[in-house]
Amino acid sequence: MNQRERNELRRHIKLNQCGISKVYGCFVSSSREIISRLDSSLGLLSEFEGEKYLSLLKKVLSGTLGKNLIDIVFSTRQVMEGEEHKLLSALRESKLEDASLRETFFQRVIQSLDLGDTSYLILLAYDAYDVPYRAKDDELQADASDTVYRYLLCAVCPVKEEKPELAYFPGDQAFHSRGISQIVAQPEVGFLFPAFDDRAANLYNALFYTRDDSQRHQELIDGIFHTDAPMSAAEQKETFQDILSDALDKDCSYDVLQSVHEQLRERLAEHKERKDPEPLDMSPQELGTILRSSGVPSQRVESFQRKCGEQFGADTALRPDNLIDSKRFRIETPQLKISVDPDSSYLIEAKIIKGRKYLLIPADDGVQVNGVEIHFPALEE
């Protein structure tokens, strides 16, 4: 799925617009026991409650593709005979009306997911989206639709206890203690099945959501999809840094890293200006070209490309926004940390003076220490 397809689906999921008529679910205690089950018709709920349920479900389509939103790819064998894929497909075909299938799915989530001592609510919904035709001028024509996209949305939301507080009761015109309430928080994890690729159902893919891309809950991915997910953004970044350090060795200088960071930022900025809905991907060969233009010897570049193939896979496309932090340029020593605006990183110089290593930062007017402007001592004549 690309950004445009994700946004189209999010815009569709609105009360009195989408085809979601019921929301199913169960409330699970911290000891993994089902406390209650949910079978709610949106038409019988208040507008506030209906919108809240849809908002929680729609949240699993938010975040950054490749970070919070991860492509799950099924093998052909899984699609043909895999138990996990068969369950998801059966839930979809039954429109979630089969209670035994729902129970099997809920138990699978409960047995797989680890949220520590947190209680949570599992929400599950089915929708059939009559996909409007997209004309050459990019306008959507609902009356020319020829595709119906039938899908499942699942959201797993932590349930948090609020402490007793004083609250105003209009009937008594007084403040009284409000008892402990349990509040449904934003989803921790969730998924869309099947994926909405090329504005149609792709049964070979699902889209998995995680609120924190550093905690991907691989245990749930294993339990629901039984397949390996791609490296997380944090893992990609750490692996990329290790490969650079190892492959470039003594040629891994400040100037090289500053140049690589700047060129990747430029690629990301150009991609953003083009408003391309597809994420920007780069091959190890393209990254090697950037290294060469930064002054890295060919032998080091070849070593870098080889190690990328070993760690990421021979044909893996890498996303620059997962490899660097385009908004920050950080320098660390054992004693201090410096965060620099990337546009100003070129001002810093790495030099050896009288045998000692220094990072030199130009300091003209306007230098402050703890908010106080300072002056430099005059040079002795």
DSSP per-residue letters across 318-364: BPHHHHS-TT-EEEE-SS-EEEE-GGGGGG-EEEEETTEEEEE----
366 pLDDT tier (thresholds 50, 70, 90)? confident
The yes-or-no verdict on residue 179 having pLDDT over 80 is no
Closest among 57, 124, 58, 60 to 97, alpha carbons compared: 124
**What pLDDT score was predicted for residue 143?**
67
Residue 181 gets which letter from DSSP?
E
Distance CA(312)–CA(335), nearest Å, equals 33
Closest among 210, 10, 209, 24 to 104, alpha carbons compared: 24
Closest among 193, 225, 222, 219 to 206, alpha carbons compared: 193
Q: What is the mean pLDDT of the chain?
A: 90
**21: how many CB neighbours lie within 10 A of its CB?**
13
- Segment 174-201 shows an average pLDDT of 90
**Which residues partner with 350 through β-bridges?**
359
Give the whole-number percent of the chain exceeding pLDDT 90.
61
| Helix (H) / strand (E) containing 15 | none
Residue showing tokens 């870098």: 304
Distance CA(277)–CA(2), nearest Å, equals 6
Distance CA(243)–CA(44), nearest Å, equals 57
The yes-or-no verdict on residue 92 having pLDDT over 50 is yes
Distance CA(129)–CA(124), nearest Å, equals 16
Distance CA(194)–CA(72), nearest Å, equals 10
140 pLDDT tier (thresholds 50, 70, 90)? low
Coil/strand/helix, residue 74: coil
Side-chain-facing half-sphere of 56: CA atoms under 13 Å: 27
Phi-psi region of 354 (alpha: psi -120 to 50; beta: other; left: phi over 0): left
The yes-or-no verdict on residue 303 having pLDDT over 60 is yes
262 pLDDT tier (thresholds 50, 70, 90)? very high
**What pLDDT score was predicted for residue 374?**
85
User: Would you call the peptide bond into 194 cis, given omega within 30 degrees of 0 as the criterion?
Assistant: yes
Residue showing tokens 């997911």: 113
Distance CA(279)–CA(70), nearest Å, equals 12
Q: What tens digit of pLDDT does each residue of 98-117 get?
A: 999 999 999 999 999 999 99
169 burial class (0-12, 13-18, 19+ CB within 10 angstroms)?
Answer: exposed
**What pLDDT score was predicted for residue 190?**
97
Distance CA(277)–CA(263), nearest Å, equals 21
Give how far the C-alpha of residue 380 lies from the chain's centroid of Cα atoms, to the nearest Å. Answer: 57
144 pLDDT tier (thresholds 50, 70, 90)? low
What are 302's two structure tokens? 């070849």
176 pLDDT tier (thresholds 50, 70, 90)? confident
Task: Encode burial over 332-353: b for 16+ CB neighbours within 10 A, e otherwise.
Answer: eeeeeeeebebeebeebeeeee
What are 369's two structure tokens? 């220490």
Please name the residue ranges forming H helices in the chain: 3-12, 47-58, 76-81, 83-93, 99-112, 218-224, 233-248, 254-274, 284-293, 298-312, 320-323
- Segment 10-24 shows an average pLDDT of 93
Closest among 8, 11, 18, 10 to 43, alpha carbons compared: 18
